[in-house]
Structures are given as C-alpha cells and as structure tokens.
Structure 1
Amino acid sequence: MIKVLIADDQELIRQSLSIILGLKEEISVVGGVGDGTEVLEFIAKEKPDIILMDIRMPTMDGVECTKIVKGKYPEIKIIVLTTFDDDKYVFSALKYGASGYLLKGISVDELEKAIHVVYSGGAMINPEIASKVVELFSEMAQQNYDVMIEAENVEKINDMEWDIIKDVGHGMSNKEIADHIGLTEGTVRNYISTILKKIGLRDRTQLAIWEVQSGAQKRRG
C-alpha cells in the first residue's frame, strides 16, 4: 500500500483528492494538510511514502518545504501539483529533489500512474512543463552566471536583499514578495533594481536563474 499525504491550502482540493485516491486499491491517503509547516509536523509523527505538494501555500510554500523534507527524509518522494506552469518553480522544486511536477488539471488515471512511477523510483513531469525544463537547462548551460558575478559584488548584498533574491528565485511576483516580506510593491521594485546593479545582471529572469542554479541564498552570512 502506497501511503500518500496531500498538502494543499484549499480544503476542497484536499478532500477531492482524498476521495478520488481513496478509491484506488493500492493507495492509502494518510492525511491532508494546508501548508509546509503542517507537512513537517505531520511527517514527524507518521512518514508517508509520497507527498502531493502544492506550490503556493501560506506560511511555507511547496518549494521550501520540498527542500526541507528531502534534506531530512530523502526516502520520501514528492510530486508537486500546481495550476502554475512557471519555469522558475519547476527548476526550484526539481533542484531540491521533487520526483514529479504535474498540473492540477491532469486526469485521475494520470495522477495514479504518476504516484506508482514515483513510488518505484521514477520521475513524472507533464509534457508541457518538461519542454520548459529543457529550455531552461539549455539556457543555463550556455550561460555561467556565477562567473558573471564578481565575489566582491555578492558580498555587498544585505539581508533584506538576500530575502528578496530568494523569493525571486521561487518565482514570486513583486506583489507576492511585498506581501511576504512586509514592504510595498514599489519598494520591492526598487530593491530588485538595486540588486541587479550591484551584481551586474540584466533582469529578474537572470537573477532567478542565478539563485536557483547557485543556491544563492546559501551564500547569506
């Protein structure tokens, strides 16, 4: 029996997935939680085989939660479920160890297949998303952003700027970053412009790729 934990901030989605997957003979839904912190609390008591992880959740999002879970419990498989086919989210989730990345519009049969594939040690990515992954890896292979950024410029980045860089790497918009950190959108926009000038990058896409490629947030401190 494959034990599955559902992590999604929408109760209706949690209930729907629980009912649907509960009809499958080889799958047992062991719980449903609303954010990343609740995931960590749950798996400290009972470890599922697979977590169906939403990306955009309050308190702790799916990308950060994936990173922590895979660091502490590498045997737990994670399938990211999202309505957003954002390439920056794709790379971050896969970088931190997710085994699958699926859009929520997939059929029940496709989801069941993905669970079995991932449980068996394989990986499952929606075709629409897979093409973006290939494009992103191709771009990253042609550009070495670490080389482009001088060490002394990286050292000029302050704590608030590191927090913003991390959120940009997670694919968050200026409004989402503003809400997360407690600033205005205009202030966030100004911070990003300052960051780009400090480290010599062209735009926020380069900044996001640099963050996920180099684990830029790890340089903090």
Structure 2
Amino acid sequence: MIDTAGSSGARLGVMLVDDQRLARTGFALMLRKAADIDVVAAAASGLEAIDILEQRTRDRLPLPDVALMDVRMPVMDGIEATRRIAGRYPSVKILILTTYDEDDYAFGAIAAGASGFLLKDVRTPQLITAIHAVAQGDAILTPRITRQVIERGVPRALPADRRERIRELFDSLSPREAAIARLIADGLSNAEIAERLVLQQPSVRRNVSRILAKLHLRDRVQIAVEWYRAGL
C-alpha cells in the first residue's frame, strides 16, 4: 500500500501523517483510486514525519508533493510539524485534516504555513481534487474560512514601517496582478478568479506565479496573509 520508491514524472507523492493507523489506512485506500497519486510515506506524529523527510533527503529520494496532516497528535502536533516543514521543506505542500471546519487548531496550522484544510469525512473525489489543487499551488479554503483563518490566526498589528513595506510590494504589482491578489485574499480559487475576471486558468496561474515572485512569498495563502497585514 505504501510506495517507498517515491513519485516520478507527473505523478504526485503524498505523505500521510495521522496518529491513528486506521485513518492512515483509510486515506491510503482512498488515494489508490487516483491513477496519478502514490502514497510514498506514512507517519504517526509530526516528529516522525520530519524524520521521514530528513531521511528521504539524505537518501536523495523525492520528497512528497503533499502531506495530509492530522492536527492533533502526540509527540508533535500538526501545527508545529507544519511550521517546521514549511520552513525546511517548502516544496512539500500541507493539507490539514480536522474534524471541525472551525477548529482553532486548523486555523493555527494555516497561519503556520499549511495550504488549506479538509474535514476528515471528506469524500474520495474531493480529497483527490484537493491534493491536485494544492500541488499546483492553489489553496483549499472557502472565502468564509479564509477570512476567519486570517483574522483569528494572524496578528494584524504591525509596525508602521513594516506595513508600509508590504504595501509598497503590492503597489509594484500590475493592475491585473493586484486584482488577482485581492481575489486570492478573498479566498477565491484559480477557477473562480478566472471566471470572475474572464481569464483562462493558465493565465491566472501565470499571474499568481508572478505575484509570488514579486512579493517573495511561498504560496497563495501568504498572499492573503500579507494583504490582510497591509490593511488592504
């Protein structure tokens, strides 16, 4: 069930991080229905997940593209694991698994660097779609959840000079890039942005990539966070 060889080509590698063995097995079975996704690793705690990433790095094995991360675990919880993985292994996108869609722990994990969160009762098609979206740089957050995540998990108070520097970075964006950044901050997906602005999705993705490069940010969740911090 676990393919330790890693992903290759266009295939996506996923690491399952959950202290419940049945949960890991269940998600692995769900992902077997995706022709282009391999479960490349499984861990029972955040610390074990980091150990696995370190070992794969030493062995020169591909890192997972996406980690499905439980939020409440012994030894090291999902928030701390997310913070460390986002800092050390930014190519690994993290999807938080939680029981409630208004879980403060999940909000904290988003602020720590996760790309979104899913309820644990997610259905297989939605899980597979979410993994593909996150691997491509999208975020799995509804507009309502995006605003709650940022307002509850991110301190808005910043020194005036820091806030001004953030605003200057946003001012460097083109009008179209600024419009897309605003919609990202509102929680819209690439597909929704494309529909709203009457653009093709590849065009939206290219613009998002340029925004990230200009703002020196890791992913679109950070765009929303910095937009909020700038008071825009």
Q: TM-score range by the shorter chain?
A: 0.5 to 0.7
Between structures 1 and 2, the one with greater helix share: 1
Calculate the TM-score normalised by the size of structure 1.
Answer: 0.59
Matched, 1:61 2:71: no
Q: Distance in 2 between matches of 1:12 and 1:141?
A: 33
Matched, 1:107 2:113: no
Matched, 1:123 2:139: yes
2:90 corresponds to which residue? 74
Q: Distance in 2 between matches of 1:69 and 1:139?
A: 22
Q: Distance in 2 between matches of 1:103 and 1:31?
A: 21
**From 33, 38, 42, the counterpart of 2:48:** 38
**Contact in 1 for aligned 2:71/2:106 (Cα 8 Å):** no
- Deviation of residue 142 (structure 1)? 11
Q: Distance in 2 between matches of 1:16 and 1:56?
A: 17
**From 12, 16, 22, the counterpart of 1:6:** 16
Q: Distance in 1 between matches of 2:155 and 2:44?
A: 39
**Contact in 2 for aligned 1:87/1:132 (Cα 8 Å):** no
Letter in 2 for 1:98: A
Q: Distance in 1 between matches of 2:54 and 2:155?
A: 41
> In angstroms, what is the RMSD of aligned CA positions?
2.8
**Structure 1: which 5+ runs fail to align?**
147-212, 215-221
**Structure 2: which 5+ runs fail to align?**
1-10, 57-62, 160-227
Q: Secondary structure at the match of 1:124?
A: coil
- Deviation of residue 140 (structure 1)? 8.3
**Contact in 2 for aligned 1:90/1:133 (Cα 8 Å):** no
**Contact in 1 for aligned 2:110/2:149 (Cα 8 Å):** no
Q: Distance in 1 between matches of 2:153 and 2:47?
A: 32
2:147 corresponds to which residue? 134
Task: Assess, with a 3 A threshold, how the Cα gap between structure 1 residues 112 and 44 changes in structure 2: closer, same or farther.
Answer: same
